[in-house]
């Protein structure tokens, strides 16, 4: 049963992070267009690089299970912030759905922040190494 939970946690991390990695890479391919879109909603396009780094690096760190709790909190905040800034017109049904999608993903990241990455993660490996080093001293 424990093995099943470990693989389920890893699968969940991959699935939740995949969207961010792909979205960040897509922004790289349409950098100027994304800057224009950001500017159209009042967000400085010069912040695009930060969004790309957070999405790509943060997503890969979630997959690897590296600094998972911290990165999950950052990505949860990113989801809430982008929901408010880019999907705030809740009278429009599609925008409302996008808003709720972001809020729901933020909730998933908060669960990940609370429970950690699981045993199939670099966080777990780092924790084992700290214990081994501490007991050898």
**Token pair 């999608």: residue:** 101
- Burial of 15: CB neighbours in 10 Å, binned 0-12, 13-18, 19+: exposed
Chain segment 44-75, per-residue pLDDT in tens: 999 999 999 999 999 999 999 999 999 999 99
Q: C-alpha distances in angstroms, 83 versus 64, 103, 126, 133?
A: 26, 7, 34, 43
From CA 90, how far away is CA 75, in angstroms rounded?
Answer: 22
pTM for the model stands at 0.91
Show the domain range for 88: 2-136
Chain segment 83-111, per-residue pLDDT in tens: 999 999 999 999 999 999 999 999 999 99
* pLDDT of 133 higher than 80: no
Tally of domains in the chain: 1
The helices-and-strands tally (H runs, E runs) of the chain is 6, 0
């Amino acid at each position: 049963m424990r093995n099943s939970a470990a693989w389920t946690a890893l699968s969940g991390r991959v699935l939740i992070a995949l969207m961010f990695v792909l979205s960040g890479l897509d922004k790289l391919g349409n950098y100027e267009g994304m800057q224009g879109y950001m500017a159209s909603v009042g967000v400085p396009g010069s912040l695009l690089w930060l969004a790309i780094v957070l999405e790509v690096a943060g997503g890969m760190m979630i997959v690897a299970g590296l600094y998972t709790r911290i990165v999950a909190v950052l990505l949860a905040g990113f989801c809430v912030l982008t929901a408010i800034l880019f999907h705030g017109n809740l009278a429009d049904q599609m925008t409302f759905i996008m808003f709720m999608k972001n809020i729901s993903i933020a909730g998933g990241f908060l669960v990940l922040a609370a429970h950690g990455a699981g045993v199939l993660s670099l966080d777990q490996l780092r924790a084992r190494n700290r214990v081994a080093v501490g007991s050898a001293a």
